[in-house]
Chains A and B, each alone.
Chain A
Amino acid sequence: MLSSAQAPRLVRSPGLRLRPIKCLHTAQSSPLTTTTTAPSSQILTIRKSLLTQQTTAVDLAKSFLDRLRRTEPQLNSFLYVSPDDAVLKQAEELDNKIKNNEKLGPLAGVLVGIKDNICTSDMPSTAGSRILENYCPPFDATAVRKLKESGAIVVGKTNLDEFGMGSTTEGSAYQVTTNPWDLSRVPGGSSGGSAAAVSARQCVVSLGSDTGGSVRQPAAFCGVVGLKPTYGRVSRYGLVAYASSLDVIGCFGSSVADAGILLHTISGYDKFDSTSSKREVPDFTSQFVGKDYLESKPLKGLRVGVIRETFGDGVDPEVISSVRGAVTHLEELGCFVTEVSLPSFSLGLPAYYVLASSESSSNLSRYDGIRYGNQVLGDELNSLYGYSRAQGFGSEVKMRILMGTYALSAGYYDAYYKRAQQVRTIIQDSFKSALEKNDILISPASPSVAYKIGEKKDDPLAMYAGDKMTVNVNLAGLPALVLPCGFVEGGSAGLPVGFQMIGSAFDEEKLLKVGHIFEQTLQVSSAVPPLIAGELTC
């Protein structure tokens, strides 16, 4: 626990106050569209304009589709886009419902992107891999089914690192997605396509999956909100399994409210997922208070713990100062901030990679060229398996399968897999005790901002090191919210920095409430990437 002598580290120091976005740009950078209003919920705005008939669902869908098609050649965030007439037909049906005063679902008219490792029965689901090229699942994932029941329109499947293995989306077997803030940089991964699509307003919200940070890190890189729910909050039925004890489906939105509304729609017990929780799903956004109604210290009494080990070596100084600025802002809102130490923190990364590689080697054994997916013939069964898998899988996937096979082999299991599980217990316990003394814990979402495409491709350990902020949360199964908190120099308009808030198990409500107040009182999150600057955003 922090002694009072160390507290001054967190007192605001000169130069750390977040400046309005305009001050960060030099004369030659292109102008950035900024607004002085806080980000509003696009979902609620759309709902209001549909119900008051200010706009029709068809017009709305057309404007998103236009923007999608215009920005897609530069972004490559989608692996599959629904044909226009299919989307417009759903929008028309919705308009008819509105005319007939029928009840609308909570996501009526909202265009959603779905990460391609989540099964959709009417669209291919490749998980970013050639082994599942053109594979159309016979069912919808539970999360997708719930979205459709709520009136959402699925606009397409977004790009990802193959099977969720990677942190840049360069590992996709099909295409590389670019970061809307700087097209020469990665959007993060593995849900890079989903993050980029929301960042560039190609869709309103999107679904991703988070096994070791795959929703939170791209959210930070692309300057959007990323929400990882508690393990068991959202059914994994229909999510292509990578590491079954770590995978969750997560949400992207341009505001905290949107991420919260989306999470509420997809959460809940599912008999098809034995790890899904039977707990009641509260209305996550019912606690939200509009900006004009906030008291002067709306978060008074909230205990915030800043994780000491996430501010040390290997973290960009600019990221540190941006996140410390966010912490200062939380203090201004009334939070009681202290520093927390989690001594086992650094063990999380090797433990995670042992567990994830091992579980993935088992989960990916089903891609044998027989059950489904592409097949390459061989002289006998083993070579059919061998050739199908060799040609279907990319090199990162092959390496992780091999490492997992090694860690699970007879004689090595105790040394690697069992040890990693024991480290996992230690990490779970350390988070539990830190969260008894604090309501939420804070860290940067990533040690750096988005790096250049190709920069980390050949060095696996360097790429893995970028996950150190996020993996522990998956090992502990806790919820986490990533919000933009500032920018650093780079690209034509700056590169976003995200900070991460970690909560207790099933306490997404508190995270979202704090995140909402934070974002409403800090204008930086309303900026949009230069790629779409100057346009009307719905």
Chain B
Amino acid sequence: MASRAALLVLRATPPLFSFKKDIFPNKTLIFKQNNRNYAAKSCLEPPDVQRLAETARISLTPHEVEEFAPKIRQVIDWFGQLQAVDLQNVEPAIRADNEGETLREDLPEIFENSNV
């Protein structure tokens, strides 16, 4: 939270935006979101559970944040073993592609209730 506050202060603020949440609540929210995108680019920072919860639109209680953070960190660290694998020239697989193309013929289909 402190880092976000620091970034808020450092950014040049146009006169329209105010930090008084009650006057321009929605604009402040948008401003915060823009801020979040700039911060997220750095290489593999550990998960910020509060921020993830806001992105996923789940209102976690502070107790839940405390409870989940170590477990999530533990699992994400475990995911880290994928970094060690040599994956040069390996195509990513979207799914188990047992079938190949599944597109239908490019022909118009008439529906009975087209005038409804």
Contact = CB atoms under 8 A, between A and B. Distances in A.
B98 A230 contact: yes
B71 A460 contact: yes
B51 to A, nearest CB: 9
A422 B56 contact: no
B111 interface: no
Interface of A: 230-232, 244-246, 274-275, 277-279, 347, 350-351, 353-354, 361, 365, 368, 380, 382-383, 385-387, 389-390, 393, 395, 398-399, 401-403, 405-407, 409-412, 415-416, 418-426, 428, 460-461, 464, 474-478, 505-506
A389 B57 contact: yes
Given A347-B85, A398-B68, A426-B90, A405 B56 contact: yes
Contact of A274 (B72, B90, B102): B102
A425 B26 CA distance: 44
A289 B47 CA distance: 56
B55 A405 contact: yes
Contact of A383 (B37, B59, B68): B59
A461 B90 CA distance: 28
B108 to A, nearest CB: 16
- Most A CB contacts (10 A, CB to CB) among B58, B67, B71 go to B58
Nearest to B81: A350
A473 to B, nearest CB: 10
Given A398-B60, A402-B47, A411-B42, A354 B79 contact: yes
B72 to A, nearest CB: 6
Contacts of B41: 410-411
Interface in B64-94: 64, 67-68, 71-72, 74-76, 78-79, 81-83, 85, 87, 90-94
Contacts, number: 152
A390 B58 contact: yes
Nearest to A475: B96
A407 B93 contact: no
Contacts of B25: 380
B52 interface: yes
A244 B52 CA distance: 22
Contacts of A351: 82
B24 to A, nearest CB: 13
A395 B68 contact: yes
Contacts of A368: 57
Nearest to B74: A461
B98 A277 contact: yes
A425 B40 contact: no
B96 A245 contact: yes
Contacts of A411: 40-44
A47 B76 CA distance: 52
Contacts of A390: 58-61
A460 B68 CA distance: 11
Given A354-B79, A402-B47, A407-B79, A421 B98 contact: no
B92 A425 contact: yes
Contact of B92 (A232, A393, A422, A475): A422
B99 interface: yes
Contacts of B76: 403, 406
Contacts of B52: 402, 405-406, 409
A347 B82 contact: yes
Nearest to A233: B98
Contact of B59 (A230, A275, A387, A407): A387
19 contacts: A244-B95, A275-B102, A365-B57, A380-B26, A382-B29, A402-B56, A403-B72, A405-B56, A406-B76, A409-B52, A419-B83, A420-B82, A423-B87, A426-B87, A428-B96, A460-B75, A477-B95, A477-B96, A477-B98
B44 A389 contact: no
Closest 3 CB pairs of A and B: A477-B96, A386-B59, A421-B92
Contacts of B43: 411
A402 B57 CA distance: 10
